[in-house]
Amino acid sequence: MRIDIISVLPELMESPFQTSILKRAVEKKLAEIHFHQLRNWANNKHRRVDDEPYGGGAGMVMMVEPLDLCISDLKSQRNYDEIIYLTPDGETLNQKTANALSIKTNLMLICGHYKGIDERVRELHITKEISIGDYVLTGGELAACVLADSVIRLLPGVLNDEQSALTDSFQDDLLSPPIYTRPEEYKGLKVPDVLLSGNFAEIENWRHEQALKITQKKRPDLLF
Smallest gap from Cβ 29 to ligand ADE, in A, equals 28
**CB nearer to ligand ADE: pick between 136 and 166:** 136
Smallest gap from Cβ 219 to ligand ADE, in A, equals 20
Smallest gap from Cβ 74 to ligand ADE, in A, equals 20
CA distance 218 to 221: 9
> Which of 164, 165, 162, 153 has its CA nearest to residue 24?
153
Interface residues with ligand ADE (CB under 6 A) are 86-88, 112, 131-133, 135-137, 140, 143
**CB nearer to ligand ADE: pick between 143 and 152:** 143
Residue 170's Cβ-side half-sphere holds a number of Cα atoms within 13 Å equal to: 9
**CB nearer to ligand ADE: pick between 112 and 177:** 112
**CB nearer to ligand ADE: pick between 83 and 132:** 132
Residue nearest to ligand ADE (CB): 143
Smallest gap from Cβ 90 to ligand ADE, in A, equals 6
CA distance 44 to 152: 36
CA distance 166 to 77: 34
B/e letters for 5-22, b = 16+ CB within 10 Å, e = fewer, are bbbbebebbeebbeeeeb
